[in-house]
Structure 1
């Protein structure tokens, strides 16, 4: 299967349902990178996941990809609402100190910050 035709929706569903937080971070980087190369967000349908933080994060990253590529965001992202709690995805793996959180906040793209999702733009390629 060519990278631009990967089924990210199902890959995210399998990864999150398996509780593989480490691979989820890697998959986010893959999704962002492959989508940017394809010139559009490649996840046109929201994954069926129960973790609201992960769903919000995926919506935020999809909106970021759409802005970067100058393409409309997929319809499912319009129903994504800001997280009630700040979402630092790496906290699923290890504690993140206040100084690091401050750094992450200063380097987070506006689409993500608006949804209370915090990840540095440069980390999307290396997540």
Structure 2
């Protein structure tokens, strides 16, 4: 009977010790997991901020204010002549007017614009 009681007590001591050490490990793992997750969120936030800034820059570049357009015209900025493939006047440039036929023509090879996959 005494041996059984000693075995039960030792089992109880080991169980309590294991419980507290596991509780400590679980708490440490939770703290580490939260730190890793916060670092991940910080990285994602930085990446999104970079994307946001590049989108804002592209928006301002593609849609200048009226004052910026006036300055471009006043300073004779090369951006005045920018054309997009979707524009009606793409590859059309009028330097002046004449009734004579043009000495050269410009054509677009659409196959060059296709992205290779």
TM-score range, shorter chain: under 0.3
Computing the radius of gyration from Cα coordinates, the structure with the larger value is: 2
Q: Which has the higher contact order (CA 8 A, sep 6+)?
A: 1
Q: What TM-score does the superposition give when structure 1 sets the normalisation length?
A: 0.24
Query: 1 or 2, which has the higher helix percentage?
Result: 2
Q: What TM-score does the superposition give when structure 2 sets the normalisation length?
A: 0.25
